[in-house]
Each structure stands twice: as structure tokens, then as C-alpha cells.
Structure 1
């Protein structure tokens, strides 16, 4: 082994943000966010262990930024002005990350007024002057200026020079030396600062010269030798935009050169001798791991098994899974072992021959990421602009199909004819031997289906993420599964944004008008990122128990829902227009009445004006102002005022309801009618509700009022085609049936088995008598208890005081002790594991279940109580949907169309003569949907009706 010293300097700031975006939010036993701390700890541990056992490294230190302000801000006030503040939940983790570094007995260096890069540069140069080799653990382009050999030929033997500085990119497991720097920038390391000064840096808000990009900057330095040489040569250049920019931007370029220059002579706060790398001592690391609940890492330390594998816990102090997932590290989230995304490697396929070669490559790869670029978000109306494919990291292409200006005289770039391209792609996209991966691939399925391409088989990274991590992100329901967010979290990569390519507002252009170089970077990156996410997420299914729900419920549902969206449903435009007119008339009357009560005219739809009228002019009590300085006038406030005999409040509530129904349904449904099909095509989301229920948008058909007269009128506008009828099949009281089975409640099971009125049975158990009032109360209690309602919540619903409501809850639990045991057991399990689970294995995570904030904690508890029941209900109806069309086909009823799924209901369109036969099939499929995976203790009842409208089918 050589006696030469080898110093490793770790860019700790880069590790922090990589760890933060890589993991879901985690908390320690005290409720403090520690996701980034945990990720940083595992990454640093792995690096330290590897360096300690490798041949060569002798010294190591972690360098961090102490504050956002440095001497560069004194030079240029707007330096890094564009950078957003760190995420709110990351801020309290910064001091803990410093603690983590010191827990490894590693030096943690930071200095006020200096950036981490300056400290790294100063230590690197000092060590190299002493003849040490230096490796900077980072991929930061600014630090590439330091790469190379330091040979001072100094007379002082203490500073012999000869030390070599290189970099280590741990994401790519790549050593970066002078050759790699020159390959990236086109210039040697000592000229990198000149290139950076010309091109600027939008992230750090270094101005550079406007319009000079990386390629132009490199060319200028190659031709003129330096920044000064390029700027001095500008007056003699031929007249051009570049000449003008160099002349006008000289001052900014020279300022930028100062800003990108690393300070290499800063005072060194610690001697190099203090950085000697030793084996990781068990103390104080054990105390640190124990303090923050990193139990899996602590066990590894105690077992002496070396560095931990790249896995994590949602709440590291607690085991997450059972069976095959008993390890507290069940939520494995390894950093992808892939090269960094390089958009310059993407190919724009513009001729038939090259497209055929790509098809052949994809056939051989067997796994293909696919993404379509279109003119609109509506898959049933969007025109296809191009298709991107990816078969591996940085192995991606974009196939433009309809690029060029919208003007008939606009120049169109070379591209494969749409018909020819689709004929070449069709066998690939329909091949059973090639798995097609997409991010929300349902959209792409529908776009391509309109071109007679049936994409299959498929995987969906959005749904993979949802089935693994539903509820994990702190942004709550539905959050955290978009491609941009997944890329940041799992790949540490920021994707190009659509607005950056197409613009925004009046200056926005269709994707088909984007220049092909930019279009290729954007579109191919989508496919590349999707492929990488699939490689990262797919293996987690088996290790984290997600296979059952993904393969048996959600994945088979993708083509089914896509087909339903294409089917759409017919609406009666005249009926909707009539309703809109009636709503307008009623709203006008209400508006007049409201103005009369208020004594003046004002804009009812303006919360600010309404608040002023209610609480200042009319003097009602209880008004409260928000941060904006205006009064809150939400529904709860108005309902409270109505209870205080404020007639204006009831009228405003009526006006608001009609306004919402008019804008959301009667007006919006008319606008949503597809001119080609004459039908409305809603879009279903498989990740829109945390419990797994489907949600719909554009238009939203889930929230049409069910039991009101207005809701019925809207449903009357949903009609079949001529000669057909609509059939509605609805699970009857499915959540209560599941509760009776899952909570083991004999009285309820018996009632359901006998076909009794469950609410009447509950009324008898609770109140000893059944009449209209007690049955209504029992119905409210039945559902409210399953949602974990509090005494005050139940009191509000029943119009009683809190003590009386609590007595009802106590009596309910006394009569149905299984429900109370179920609630207690569910909450205990969720607190232990961090998630709830349906009968089919769908997990919903609750990171706030032990929050110190009472509102957050109680909200999580209520949701956790209901999630297994509501989620199981969602799983059952999804399984029924997957089985429905094959069952109808087998019965000779393949012409029956499944149109809608709303709550616990499926809506079909069919000839009236087939109603009896179809009803038998539909009832059997829905009734047996849980089998054979789950056997319930109660029967599932299905109510079926049909008629000339959706309303008439009920």
C-alpha cells in the first residue's frame, strides 16, 4: 500500500438535498421530520465504510454550507436570488444532519461568508500542495475547475506539489478527471470558469451573457483561449447577434467570472491532520441512531454487519410490515444505479429507416417506456404530435409526427408520415412480448386507440407509486405521484417543464410548433424518466407487499377504465340548457331577495363583499378575518348564522348551491359534449383518492347530489342512445356490510344475512324502538362511527349536546363491541406500522398519526379507522369492473357497454330486451367480486334498475 495521503472531501450539501428528495417524509419518535437525516445517514455510512476498506483513502471530511449569504452576495446582490427557500420540513433537519456527521466521528466543516465549494477548494489546493491526492465527492460543475495535478515545484519540501485532484460522482459511480471534464465542457479544467462565465447559471442567478449557451461558450473559449480573449475579439467579429451580445454583455461576463471563481486561499478552520479516516466507532453513532428511532440501522451497528443497505422506514423506530415484510426496512428505496440523465443523448427520429431500427431495438429490449405528445389534455379530442420511446437510461428518442406551424404555408420539418409511423409502431405497441410502461398510460392508451392501436400489456409508474406510497407524502390525498415529483424524489432529477418548452398565457404555442431539438429533449426525457422510475419502483412491489393489490386490482383495471372513458355517455343538451335557464332565474330571484335583506346591492359571489355585509353592516357575531384581512364566509360559517336565525345566510347557501351546480354541471356538461361522438367523456383517476376509490374530472361526475330534487334533474339529462336504456347496478350498504364482517359484529351479520333493514336493527339495539326519528338517528350513527366521528361531530349532525352524543356512542359500542375492538385494533396497527391495509392488501400511509398537533393527529385517526373499510369497498368494485366485460362477453352480451363508475355504482347502456339477462350477469359478478381472494361473512347485495335516464334507472 502506498504511503501517499489521500483526502476525500464530501460535498455534504448535495447529499442533503439528494436524500431529501429521495425519501418520503419520515418522523422520529418526537415527531420531528427526519427523512433527509435518515437518507443522509445511510449514504454517508455507506461512503465512509467503502472508503475505509478501500485501498488508498487516508483522510475524509464533510463540507457544508453554513448560511445562504456569502461574500458573492456582497459583490452581486442578486446572486442566487432565484433560489426558493428550502422546504419547510427540511429546515429543522439541517442541525440534525450536522449531528449525524459528527456521530460518525467525521469532521463537519462550515464557515460563515463562504460557500461549501470555497472551503472544498481551499482544502483541496492545500492538500495537493502538500503532495496529497484529493477526491471531491460531488458532481457539481463548479468544482470541476479544480480537477488536475498541482505541481508547484516549490523549494520548500513541505510543499512539494504533485497532488492530483479528481472527483467522484457517487450517483454514477464515476471518477471525474481532466479527460472527463474536457469531454463535458470541451475545454480543460482551468478554462471551465471562462465557459461558465459566458453561459451563466440560472440556478445561481449568475448572469453570463444573454443568448450564449454552453456550446457557443465552449466554442468561443476554444477559439480565443480565454474569456478576456473572446471579449477582446468581439469588436473585430463579423456583424451578428453574437457580436452584439459580447459587446453589450462584457461587464456582466467579467462579473460572472468573479462569481464562478472558487476561493482557494480561505483560512482552514481545521488542520488536515484532523481528517484522518478511521473505522466508524460505535459511539456516539449508536446514541444518535437510538435518539432518532433509526432502529434498523442501530441493529446493523450492534450486529457489526457494516454499512446498511439502502432501505428506509416511514417511521424508522417502528416495524413496517408483516410476513415477508417483517423487517423494519420493508420500505426499501434504493438509489437507482443508473447514469445521470443526459438530454444530449436523445435522438430525433425523422426517417422511416431509423424508425424501423428503433422498433427492432425495442422488440429486442422487451421493456419499453412510451409517452405521447398531443395538442390537448383531453385524450378524446387531442391530436397526436409525436411519440417518445425509451429502452434504457439515456436510450430514448422522439418521433415527431405533426410538427410545423399551424399556418398552411409554414415550413414543416422532416418527419415520418403519421400513417407510416403508426403502421411501423402498431405491431410493437400491441406485442404481447413487449411490456409498455407509461406514466398515467391510460391517457396514451386512449390517444393511440383513436388511431386503431391497442396498447398492451402495460405497467404504470404513477399507479406503482400510488400502490406503494399512498398517503406517504405530506401534501396528502392524491399528492406525490406525478412524474416531476417522482423524478425529484427517487432520481434526484429536475425534469423539463411543459411551460418552459411551450410558454404560458397568450404566448403559449402548441407542442406541434415547438422546435424539434427542444421537443426531443422534453419528450424523450419523459420516456427516459418513466423507464427509470419503473426500474426503481417495480422491484419494491415484492419486497413491500404491493404485488397483490397492483397485479390483482389496479393494473388490470387500467385498460378497463380507458375503455369506459372512450365509451362516454350521452347527455340531453336541451334538458341541460333548460336547467341552466331555470337555475339562472331562481338565482336572480334569490339575488334580489338577498339584496333586499341586506339593504343594498353587492356581489354575492365575492366573499369579501359578503363578509362586510354580514359582519359589519348587519352586525352578526362570530365573524373572523383570515390572513388576507377579509372575513371568512365558508359554508360552516353560513350554516352557523342560519342556526342563529339569519335569513340571509340560508338564501346565500341556496344561491351558492345553484351557482355551483350550474357552472359545474348544467353549463359544463354542455361544453363537454364531444363534437365527434356526441357524448361526454369523463376522465377517471386511479390515484385521486387516498383509499383507492376512483375519482373523475373534466367533468366530475362523482359529486352530483344523490338525494336532492336538483340532483335528480341533472341525472335525468344523462340518457341512452335511441333504442337503448341505461342500467344502474349499486352495491347496497356495502361499507356497513364490510364493517359487520371485518369488525366481527354478530348482530349486524345476522341482520344482513336475513335481509333486515340494518338501520332499523341498529335503532332497536340503541333506542329499544323503531320509528322514523330513531331510524334516521341510527343511520347517521352507523356511518358516523365508521368515520371515527367525535362526540362533538356527532352532536352537530344529530342536533344534540356533546354529552348526549357521547352517551349514544357509548351505547353503540356496548351493543356492538366488535366495532369498538375494530377501531382500537386498527389504530394500534396503524401506529405500529405507519399504514392501514385493506382485505386485498392495499396500504394507506398515515405519517401524521402520532403528530403532536391534535388536529392533525385526530384527522389521521379518523381517516385510518375508515380507510380499511372504504378501501376494501373500492377494491371490490374495481375487481367487479375488471371481470365484468369478459363475463358479459361469455354470456353473449358483448354489446352491453359499461359507461360509468360512481361511488358504489356501475352504469351500463344496452337494449331493453337484454336487461334481464344482463342483470343476472352483472349481479353475479358484483356479488362474487371479492372471491376467491377474500371470503366475507356477509352477502353483498346489489340493487339494479333501468330506464330512459340515469335517474330513471334508480
Structure 2
């Protein structure tokens, strides 16, 4: 079955206009709707797989429905001038790009869409309608017609229509006849809303049935409303009825999707300075990269292996990958390795397969890998492979290398960067999935050698293809960032995560016994306060106790429809009943026990030095901050009643101490640097308390309360916090929160200007840049108001948080050059570095490291650090 996509054109244009209203080119011409439409066309191919595409247009002037009701759509205001100016350009783009389009005098786009659906009724064609219009839901038919919402990104069939409106598509006209549609000024029956309409249509099929059996309507008020609104009901149904018999002279051969449509409107894209899109178009058309046939070659003869490797000239680009017994690089053993040096063949070298005799020895493998590492090594997630090689062979790592996973992250930091996803995305190639070759309960050493060879060779081959792809398609600036900073940082992270942190297992075991006693004690106290036993771990049972039995108030519902008992809700209720605080204490302690105590104790007991090793990911976040997993040591509770006792179980090695160096207010300093706000710059220059200064500006006085509010504003604005969020966070009136933020911007005038500039440029360019030049992309086209506001917040935060991440990365790279067995970096927690340093050299190293961190970059404001030394993590300040 082929697919025809038909677009409610003006509906689309209006949404794009209001989503990107503020965009202009350098000459001051409005460009938001044009940009949004061009972006929509760019994503059309990937988002909507279609054989045919039709744009349905509304006609000008009054239509046939105005003959039915002269007030039809009379509530609509005149479109803004900026929209009117862009509208003809977008319509001309449709024509220039070669898309099929239809309009019919006195009829609406909805009627054209209905006629297209009817035309396809007896054909083997599926129709997808792109629209937000309620009227069109009457056209939905399972397996034949669906509606795609460009705002929610959901596709609606009959079941989804019922879930959304409570009625099937066949009853949409009657539904609108009863409850009306304010967007089109369809009145419906006054006093009957969506719920009432649904209830009536559950009982009666149509409005004709309702009025034939009006005496059977049980609710007297509803009966009266129906009697009074009878004429409006039938007029409304007529207005909601689509005309599906328009003569359109429709020829499907003329509706085929044009090839590379945007190439036909490059002049318009250039005139309106849609530079980000132009770059994407150029990159897309540089090369049609595909996966060619290549040979997977098994090498189990050392002479053949060295014959290949001896031909390398030390500058050869060679893709390399390891196959192992598991995913944990700390414990996994190597089973084999693969490599590729051209796009015709890839090689697999087996080392430790269980059911294969003639394999390369570990000694020969070591020599071969050493030869490979003398070249330019390419891989996908090289940190893993490097750790495997270091652990299994104790070999020095290559000096020249490139990680295609890091390149993919730099290119699109919001997207999935695993090999399977990228191969499909770049080359339309379906890779062999690990779970398809390795059975449950087995590892790579158990599988058939031929299957192993195909799988491993593909990894190396695809990695090589990725590298060549990025050479052509990644911007030079981003590639330079990779070469200068990101690739060297792989080794910095590897060394940090290899150090680990020591856990005093006896201390933790004692603490866990105390925690267990406390959990039991709190549980008993909760039962007494509730006057019954219940499952405290069940949100439903907690909700029943709080909101039904104890009659506490909450308006927030969870996904299941039950009143929410999440932490935010409970914090709001903490003064309403003693049981709320006890439940919060119980949850904190239970989570600490089950999430952090038990798993980390098991890990420490497995290690002969009682150390715990986390994996740090440099490509785990869109902003560039590091993330940590297995276990997540960045997420160890820093606050709360029990946090210090727990963290005190992490101890320095005998003769060593922990050193913590933390950047002070680095994101606020980034704000001062980028915004160049004079008052903020001077405050930092004079080493003033920024929160007290802000409090003085907003309230004309400084005390604990005003400083606390000022602090919330200072940090909140970095994360795009508005007055409503400030109101909730501080539990103050919304109008007061609004006044405080307005006063803030009245004082720090350049900050507001900077925020607006960032948002405008992000919309115009489609990305923001950090201090180092890393980019984060945003697709502002086809977003609703909520997502638009989110993107605007994230665009500001991504610059500030991303630049802070750049700075600490630069500091880590520099400090790493001076580390050894007596001074080692063991943890990074966002703006803080934790070292384990020999006591005799501690003070000198602390001064040295702080100096590097404070002077690693030259900004318009100086960087400041604070440091702390202790024998355990809990005592670090």
C-alpha cells in the first residue's frame, strides 16, 4: 500500500508563524514562518514516508459555510502583517519546489482534504493528514486514513481519536454539533461541553437520535439546554460537515514527492539567511554514502596477520575494535579483535574462542596490536577498547587516534550515537545486533567463529566508514575541537576511572545496621500516625492514607491517574501533618540503603583494594557535562539527614587525603562573561557577595530571607526559571515573584538583553555555541508553546552550563599531565574535582591545581575556586 500525505497548509503556516514569530534576517525582514516551513520540508522525507504529497489551501473570502451561518469564523482577528508578508513567499515555495497543491473557490482546505480521502477510498492508498483541525477527525478510518499532529507528534487512528475526544470518528460531527468549536465560531448547544456531548453520544448515536428521543434524556437541565439550542445544534453539524465531492482534477502521477525540493528554493533560503539549514542541505548532498560489499576475513595465521600489518606506513588510518566476554571493561577478557584499513575488507583475529582451536596466541596478539597502535587508530567508543587493551596486554595506547562516537556527539549532541543507530541513519544499513549472535547466558567466546567474524568485521568496517563520513560532513571547527580537546580527554577520563575510590566496608556495614534499625523505627511511627499498617513503598496506598483517610489536599495526579505523592507534593504538605515528614525520611533512608549502600558494598567487597570504579561518559549529555554510571558516583546524596554519615564511609588510602577543588559560581561567572553586564562584572571583580548585592538591588535591604530569594533568582535564571517557578519554589505569591524578577532585570539590564539575543540567534541559526565552540542544536519548527519555551530556556542554559563544562574539561586535561601515583584525580562531579594526594605533598599540589583551575582560560571575569582537605568524603566541605 502506498502512502499519500495531505497537508492542511494554512493551519501549518499559522503554527509556524507563532512558534518563530521574532525571527528576522539582517535586513529586518521577518523570516520565522519561512524558516519553519523550510525546516518542515527538510524533515518531510524522514518524518513522513510518502509516495505522494498534496498541499491543501484555503480559498480567499467568504465560503459556502457563511451561507449557512453568517457568523461562521467571524470571531477570528485579522492576521498580523508579518504573517501576511511571509504567506505568499511560502505558497510560492510550494510551487517552486514542485509539490502538488489544490484550492477551490469558496471551499476550505478541509473540504479539499475530504475530497482527496474520498478519491483514494477505492484505491490501495493510505492517506495521512497533517493537521490540528478537529473537523478532520471525522475522516479517520483504520488502515486507510490517519491524522498526524505536528505539535504532539502523535498519529491518530480510530482508537486514538476515541482516547482523545471520547467518541469515534463517525461521531465527530455530532460531537462538534453539541459542544461546538470556538476556533471556527461553531456555537454548538450552549451549556453542553465535551463531557456532556460524549455522555449523550454514548447513549444516542447522532443528534438526530437525540432530538427524536428527547424525552428519554434523563437530566432535566440537559434536556432544557438541548431544547433551547436545537437550531444551533443542527446548524453546527452542517458547519462541521465536510464537502468531499469537489472536482479537483486529481492525477496521482502529478502528486509524486519531488526529489530534493529545497534545492529549488535556495535563493529564498539565502535571502532570508537560513544558514543552518543551508549547511545541512549542502552536507546532505556532498556524497550519497552507502555501505558497499566488503569481505569479512578471518585471520588465524600469524604469518598472514603480520604480512598485512607490515605494509602499514605509520600514518595509515586503521579502524580497530575488540570483542570481549562482557561489557564491564574492568572485568571483561578479550576474545578477539578486528581491524579495517580500506572499504573493501575487514579482518577478525580470534584469541580465546571456546570451540575453535587454531587461534592467534596472546603473545602474538600483543605484538600485532602494538603495530596497529603505531598508526592512526579509529574506533567507536575507544575508551572501552583502550581499557581492555591496557588490562589484557599492558600496552601503551596510541598517540594518534579518533573516536567516531565523540564525532557523532559533536555533530548532533541530542541524538543517539550508538553504532546501530548511526549506521542506519548515515548509510541506511542494518547492522548485526549483538543479541542476534550471542544467546542469553553466553558470551562472545561461545559463538560460532564464522558468526563472530562477520559481527566483529562489521564493527571495524562501519567505524572506518563513520570516520570518512565525518571527515566530509563534520564542520572543520568541530573536528578541530575533537582533535585538540575531546580525543585527548578520552585518556584523561580513562585514567580517572581506573583509580576508583576506596570504601571502608566495615564502616558501611555498621552504618547499614543503624539505617536498618532507623527504617524499622520510622516505619512503626508512620503506622501509628496512620492508625493502620500499609505498604509505604506503594504510591497508591500512600495516596489513600494521605488524601482520603487524613484528608490532606493535593491537586497533582500521577501518570496512573492516582493523586501524586512525589517529593515535590510531599514537601508542599510537610507542615500539614507529621506523617508527611516521616514518609520523606523513610524514603530518603530506604533509597540510600537499597540504591547506594547495598550495591556499592557488593562492588567494594569484590575488589582486593575495596575500591569502587565508575564509568565516566564524555558524550552522555547534550550540554557537555560528564555523566557517571555503574555506579553513578556523581549522584551520591550530597544533602539530607543521612548524607554525611554515608559519604564518610568513602576514605582515602593510608598516607593519603582527599582534596576537593570546586569552582565557585562558575555559571554565574559565565553569565557575566557573555552578557558583559557591568554591575555583575564589577561585583565579581570586587569579590562581592553576589547574592547579597542582588538582594540589595531588589529589596533595598540584605537579610537571610532577601539573600535567599536573591540566590534563587541568580541561579534560577541560568536554568530559564520564570516567575511561576520562582513562586512555587519559594512558596510566595506569583505577583511578588514577577516583581522580583522584573526588578532583577531592571538592575542587570544587559542580562535581559543577552537572554533575548541568545533566544533569537538560537531560533535563527538552529544552534548555540559554548565557549570552546561546541554546538547544541534546536529544531524550533513545528513546536508548541510549551516546547518552544523549553527550547528557549535550554538555549541559554546550554551556553552557560556547556561553557562551564568546557572550562573544567580544559583544567582536567592540563592537570592530568602532572598526575602520578602520589597525586591522582579520582572523581569529577560537575564543577568539582576530587583528588587523592599523598599527605607530604598535599599543600603544594593543592596550590598548584587551584592555580591551573583559576587560570585555565582568560575571561572577562576571573574564575574562583574553593578547596577542602579531609580523610573521608563526608568531611570535605
Q: So what's the TM-score if we normalise by structure 2?
A: 0.70
> Any idea what SS the aligned residue of 1:687 has?
coil
> Any idea what SS the aligned residue of 1:389 has?
strand
Question: How big is each residue's C-alpha offset from its partner over 1:117-141, in whole Å with a ceiling of 9 and x where there is no partner?
Answer: xxxxxxxxxxxxxxxxxxxxxxxxx
Question: How big is each residue's C-alpha offset from its partner over 1:390-419, in whole Å with a ceiling of 9 and x where there is no partner?
Answer: 223352122221111xxxxxx444211223
* Higher alpha-carbon deviation: 616-625 or 414-423: 616-625
Taking the aligned partners of 1:903 and 1:604, their CA distance within structure 2 comes to 34
- From the superposition, tell whether residues 638 and 358 of structure 1 become closer, same or farther in structure 2 (CA, over 3 Å): farther
1:298 to 262, 265, 268: 265
Matching of residue 357 in structure 1 with residue 357 in structure 2: no
Matching of residue 38 in structure 1 with residue 42 in structure 2: yes
How far the C-alpha of 1:319 sits from its partner, in A, is 2.5
Taking the aligned partners of 1:800 and 1:12, their CA distance within structure 2 comes to 54
Residue of structure 2 in register with 1:307 after alignment: none
Taking the aligned partners of 1:699 and 1:841, their CA distance within structure 2 comes to 31
Matching of residue 528 in structure 1 with residue 461 in structure 2: yes
Residue of structure 1 in register with 2:492 after alignment: 560
- From the superposition, tell whether residues 372 and 317 of structure 1 become closer, same or farther in structure 2 (CA, over 3 Å): farther
How far the C-alpha of 1:696 sits from its partner, in A, is 0.5
Residue of structure 1 in register with 2:668 after alignment: 736
How far the C-alpha of 1:362 sits from its partner, in A, is 5.4
- Give the aligned length: 676
1:796 to 725, 728, 735: 728
Residue of structure 2 in register with 1:319 after alignment: 274
Residue of structure 1 in register with 2:842 after alignment: 915
- From the superposition, tell whether residues 750 and 615 of structure 1 become closer, same or farther in structure 2 (CA, over 3 Å): same
Residue of structure 1 in register with 2:360 after alignment: 416
Question: How big is each residue's C-alpha offset from its partner over 1:451-496, in whole Å with a ceiling of 9 and x where there is no partner?
Answer: 212332221111111111123xxxxxxx411211111111111212
* Higher alpha-carbon deviation: 711-720 or 692-701: 711-720
Taking the aligned partners of 2:532 and 2:349, their CA distance within structure 1 comes to 62
- From the superposition, tell whether residues 35 and 382 of structure 1 become closer, same or farther in structure 2 (CA, over 3 Å): farther
Q: Is the 8 A contact 1:339 1:393 kept in 2?
A: no
How far the C-alpha of 1:357 sits from its partner, in A, is 3.0
1:898 to 819, 825, 847: 825
> Any idea what SS the aligned residue of 1:583 has?
helix
How far the C-alpha of 1:713 sits from its partner, in A, is 2.3
Q: Is the 8 A contact 1:334 1:536 kept in 2?
A: no
Question: How big is each residue's C-alpha offset from its partner over 1:716-767, in whole Å with a ceiling of 9 and x where there is no partner?
Answer: 2222211111111111111111211211122222222222222222222222
Taking the aligned partners of 2:251 and 2:556, their CA distance within structure 1 comes to 59
* Higher alpha-carbon deviation: 829-838 or 357-366: 357-366
Matching of residue 368 in structure 1 with residue 318 in structure 2: yes
Taking the aligned partners of 1:652 and 1:687, their CA distance within structure 2 comes to 37
- From the superposition, tell whether residues 951 and 334 of structure 1 become closer, same or farther in structure 2 (CA, over 3 Å): farther
- From the superposition, tell whether residues 612 and 895 of structure 1 become closer, same or farther in structure 2 (CA, over 3 Å): same
Matching of residue 682 in structure 1 with residue 614 in structure 2: yes
Question: How big is each residue's C-alpha offset from its partner over 1:698-719, in whole Å with a ceiling of 9 and x where there is no partner?
Answer: 1111122334452222322222
How far the C-alpha of 1:598 sits from its partner, in A, is 2.8
1:876 to 807, 814, 818: 807
- From the superposition, tell whether residues 373 and 276 of structure 1 become closer, same or farther in structure 2 (CA, over 3 Å): closer
Question: How big is each residue's C-alpha offset from its partner over 1:324-365, in whole Å with a ceiling of 9 and x where there is no partner?
Answer: xx955477245755553547x212222212322342355577
- From the superposition, tell whether residues 346 and 336 of structure 1 become closer, same or farther in structure 2 (CA, over 3 Å): farther
- From the superposition, tell whether residues 383 and 819 of structure 1 become closer, same or farther in structure 2 (CA, over 3 Å): same
Q: Is the 8 A contact 1:724 1:912 kept in 2?
A: yes
Q: Is the 8 A contact 2:289 2:427 kept in 1?
A: no
> Any idea what SS the aligned residue of 2:755 has?
helix
Give 1:260-299 correspondences, 5 Å limit.
294=262, 297-299=264-266
How far the C-alpha of 1:65 sits from its partner, in A, is 12
Taking the aligned partners of 1:651 and 1:797, their CA distance within structure 2 comes to 21
- From the superposition, tell whether residues 347 and 879 of structure 1 become closer, same or farther in structure 2 (CA, over 3 Å): same
Matching of residue 671 in structure 1 with residue 607 in structure 2: no
Give 1:425-824 correspondences, 5 Å limit.
425-429=369-373, 431=374, 434-450=375-391, 451-456=393-398, 457-471=400-414, 479-503=415-439, 507-543=440-476, 545-622=477-554, 628=560, 630-642=562-574, 645-673=576-604, 674-824=606-756
> Any idea what SS the aligned residue of 1:901 has?
strand
Residue of structure 2 in register with 1:392 after alignment: 342
How far the C-alpha of 1:877 sits from its partner, in A, is 0.4
Q: Is the 8 A contact 1:572 1:718 kept in 2?
A: yes
Taking the aligned partners of 1:276 and 1:592, their CA distance within structure 2 comes to 71
- From the superposition, tell whether residues 820 and 908 of structure 1 become closer, same or farther in structure 2 (CA, over 3 Å): same
Gaps of 5+ in 1: 1-10, 14-25, 43-61, 67-95, 117-268, 278-283, 304-315, 405-410, 472-478
- From the superposition, tell whether residues 909 and 533 of structure 1 become closer, same or farther in structure 2 (CA, over 3 Å): same
How far the C-alpha of 1:425 sits from its partner, in A, is 1.6
Q: So what's the TM-score if we normalise by structure 1?
A: 0.65
> Any idea what SS the aligned residue of 1:702 has?
helix
Q: Is the 8 A contact 1:728 1:950 kept in 2?
A: no
Residue of structure 1 in register with 2:129 after alignment: none
Question: How big is each residue's C-alpha offset from its partner over 1:73-117, in whole Å with a ceiling of 9 and x where there is no partner?
Answer: xxxxxxxxxxxxxxxxxxxxxxx9xx89992689x9x9889889x
Q: Is the 8 A contact 1:319 1:329 kept in 2?
A: no
> Any idea what SS the aligned residue of 1:672 has?
helix
Q: Is the 8 A contact 1:735 1:870 kept in 2?
A: yes
Question: How big is each residue's C-alpha offset from its partner over 1:198-247, in whole Å with a ceiling of 9 and x where there is no partner?
Answer: xxxxxxxxxxxxxxxxxxxxxxxxxxxxxxxxxxxxxxxxxxxxxxxxxx
Residue of structure 2 in register with 1:231 after alignment: none
Taking the aligned partners of 1:381 and 1:611, their CA distance within structure 2 comes to 44
Q: Is the 8 A contact 2:497 2:614 kept in 1?
A: yes
- From the superposition, tell whether residues 777 and 428 of structure 1 become closer, same or farther in structure 2 (CA, over 3 Å): same
* Larger relative contact order, structure 1 or 2 (CA cutoff 8 Å, min sep 6): 2
Taking the aligned partners of 2:754 and 2:388, their CA distance within structure 1 comes to 45
How far the C-alpha of 1:533 sits from its partner, in A, is 1.5
> Any idea what SS the aligned residue of 1:939 has?
coil
2:796 to 865, 869, 872: 865
- From the superposition, tell whether residues 894 and 330 of structure 1 become closer, same or farther in structure 2 (CA, over 3 Å): farther
Taking the aligned partners of 1:271 and 1:348, their CA distance within structure 2 comes to 55
Q: Is the 8 A contact 2:616 2:628 kept in 1?
A: yes
Give 1:24-103 correspondences, 5 Å limit.
29=33, 37-38=41-42, 103=98
Taking the aligned partners of 2:599 and 2:681, their CA distance within structure 1 comes to 43
How far the C-alpha of 1:843 sits from its partner, in A, is 1.0
Taking the aligned partners of 2:299 and 2:287, their CA distance within structure 1 comes to 28
> Any idea what SS the aligned residue of 1:794 has?
helix
How far the C-alpha of 1:64 sits from its partner, in A, is 6.8
- From the superposition, tell whether residues 617 and 680 of structure 1 become closer, same or farther in structure 2 (CA, over 3 Å): same
Residue of structure 2 in register with 1:206 after alignment: none
